[in-house]
Amino acid sequence: MDPVTPSLEVAGLAFAYPDGHQALFGVDFTIGRGERVALLGPNGAGKTTLVLHLNGILTGGAGTVTVAGLPVGKRHMAEIRRKVGIVFQDPDDQLFMPTVREDVAFGPAAAGLKGAELEERVRRALERVGMADFADRPPHHLSFGQRRRVAVATVLAMEPEILVLDEPSSNLDPASRRELADILRSLDVTVLMVTHDLPYALELCPRALILSDGAIAADGKTGELLSDDELMRTHRLELPFGFDPRSTAVRTP
C-alpha cells in the first residue's frame, strides 16, 4: 500500500439508532499509516458506535469511512474486515476453539490459507504477542492477561492494516498491563485504542482524539490534551489521583 494513503479517514460520519437516539454528529478525523491514536471520551460519547462503523458492523448513517483507500460498504466488506482488526474488551468473545493454535488459525483458515502458510501465519502471530509456547493449551486454562494477548494474536493473524483495541488494559494486573504495552509498542500496524485508562493512552499513543456527545471535541498530542484542565473537566475525563501528565513522556519503540 502507498504509505501516503491514510489507514483511516472518517468524514462527516453521523448515525442515529432505530429508536431515534443520535449517537454521532458529523465525526471527522484521519489516521496516518503507523500512527498510534487514543480515542477518549466519557461513557455515552459514541465511542463504541464509531468503532462499529470502522469495519461495517454498523452502516446506514451519513458520511463516509475509508480504510486504506477503500470505502467501507458492501462492495469491499470482506477486505475491510480483514484490514480492520477489532480486539474486544472481553477476550472470551473472541476465543472459542479447543486450543490457542486453532483460535489463531480460525480467521486465516476461513480466508483460504492452509498448510505450511497457515502454520507460519499462526506461529508469527503468537510470537508477536509472546504466546508461542501456549499454542496447544486450551484458552480457558490461561490467565485473563494471556487470553487478551491471544485475542490480539487472532487479529494479528489476519495481517490487518489497523488494530482497534477496546479498553485493552481493563482487568489486567500491573505486570500484564506492562507486557501488553510492550507488545503494542512493538507492532508495525496502525493502532486506534479506545480507553478510559488515560495514563495508558499517554504511555502508548502520541496522539489522542476526544469524542464527546457524538462529535470530536479535541484532536492533538495526548500529553497536551490531558494537561488541559478545562478541556478534561468539560468532557468528564479524570486522571488518577496524583498522576501528572506533564511529567510523563510517551515512550516510542
Q: Is residue 164 part of a domain?
A: yes
Output the domain CATH number for residue 42: 3.40.50.300
Per-residue CA distances from 91 to 6, 14, 31, 116, 176 (Å) = 28, 29, 26, 27, 14
What's residue 76's pLDDT? 84
When pLDDT is averaged across residues 56-69 and rounded to a whole number, the result is 86
Q: How far apart are CA 218 and CA 197, in angstroms?
A: 17
Give yes or no for residue 200 having a pLDDT over 80: yes
Q: Is residue 214 part of a domain?
A: yes
- Which of 44-58, 137-151, 238-252 bottoms out in mean pLDDT, i.e. has the lowest? 238-252
Give yes or no for residue 87 having a pLDDT over 70: yes
Q: Is residue 251 part of a domain?
A: no
In degrees to the nearest 10, what's the CA dihedral of 90, 217, 232, 21?
-50
pLDDT confidence band for 130 (50 / 70 / 90):
very high
Q: Give the closest residue to 48 by CA, choosing from 208, 214, 246, 235.
A: 214
Give yes or no for residue 138 having a pLDDT over 90: yes
Give yes or no for residue 33 having a pLDDT over 80: yes
Q: How far apart are CA 129 and CA 4, in angstroms?
A: 28
Number of domains in the chain: 1
Q: Give the closest residue to 130 by CA, choosing from 78, 194, 77, 175.
A: 175
Q: How far apart are CA 69 and CA 72, in angstroms?
A: 9
Q: Is residue 2 part of a domain?
A: no
Q: Is residue 1 part of a domain?
A: no
pLDDT confidence band for 157 (50 / 70 / 90):
very high
- The separation between CA 234 and the C-alpha centre of its own chain, rounded to angstroms, equals 25
Q: Is residue 131 part of a domain?
A: yes
Structural contact between residues 155 and 163, judged by C-beta atoms closer than 8 angstroms: yes
What's residue 250's pLDDT? 52
Structural contact between residues 129 and 153, judged by C-beta atoms closer than 8 angstroms: yes
Beta-bridge partner residues of 220: 208
Cell of 223: 500529553
Query: What is the overall mean pLDDT for the chain?
Result: 89
Task: Give the range of the structural domain holding residue 130, as residue numbers without chain letter.
Answer: 8-237
- Express as a percent the part of the chain with pLDDT over 70: 96
Q: Is residue 206 part of a domain?
A: yes
Q: Rounded to 5 degrees, what are φ and ψ at 111?
A: -85, 0
When pLDDT is averaged across residues 236-250 and rounded to a whole number, the result is 73
What's residue 251's pLDDT? 53
When pLDDT is averaged across residues 79-94 and rounded to a whole number, the result is 89
Q: Is residue 84 part of a domain?
A: yes
Beta-bridge partner residues of 38: 193, 208
